[in-house]
Amino acid sequence: MVDGKVVVVTGAGSGIGREFALAFARSGASVVVNDLARGAGGEGFMADAVVAEIQAAGGRATASTDSVAEAASATRIVEAALDAFGRIDCVVNNAGILRDRFFFNMSVDEWKAVMDVHLNGAFYVSRAAAPHFKSQGGGSYVHMTSTSGLIGNPGQSNYAAAKLGIVALSKGIALDMARHKVRSNCIAPWAWTAMTASVPTDTPEALARMEKLKTMEPRKIAPLAVYLASDAAAEVSGQVFGVRANEIYLFSQPRVIRSVHRSEGWTPESIAEHAVPAMRTSFYDNVPSPTLTTWDPI
């Protein structure tokens, strides 16, 4: 479905990103495998190993070991696609890290590190590709979000803020670049990876959730990313999808659901007496994301 296209996948040295790179290559795309991580023992970049795997199977790929967290290095990731393959058709913003800690203990460095990789990184790489998409009259962005941002999870306020920010970034890109036939969508994945393995399991509920997560394979996420990069998805933009084993979800987006009015205007007292009681039945429960996906993966 993406034969002849050139795709940049960030954070593609392992986990979901690796599965994306392999799937795109199998579907005919040339792939820039971006990852700055080194393999076990610190010898060799993981991106190089994925490139070798793709090339051994007859695919086309090149490695990039630049960081997404700085504008200059993110630009070099896009330039790697142009240098190797002469164009760029899709950016998959997958690179990520975790620095989990309860909000009241979170350091500024832990906040900034997650923001720099997830939210700033998604902007930097996307922005670097934008002029090329615009000039060629088409392109696709696939951004990885998370139910931590869409719904919420304890101990992840930095990650949740970044991931929900990515949804807003994607929506802005979809609106701003629609006239140039550029699409932007998000995927919230459920999968067991090295990154999710680092999530604390200090309660029975968290441990049970992690055991369930282990049954969800990263490769199950890849087909949706390939589809969103293909011409078959030409009319799909500004959406938020989820993949959980063999299930694909479409997430809702914020819309006005209730309204109350007083012709004389509001006071704090009338809000307490009238507005909030009228809306309370439509309030959302303050619960973490596992509470809303109680069934086993299908």
Q: What residues are labeled active site?
A: 159
- CB contact set of 122 (below 8 Å; sequence gap of 6+): 68, 93, 143, 166, 169
* CA nearest neighbour of 83 among 30, 45, 131: 30
The strand pairing partners of 8, in sequence order, are: 32, 91
What is the chain's percent helix, strand, coil content, to nearest 5? Answer: 50, 15, 35
| Residues 204, 254 contacting (CB under 8 angstroms) | no
Neighbours of 297 (CB within 10 A): 15
Token representation of residue 53: 């795997």
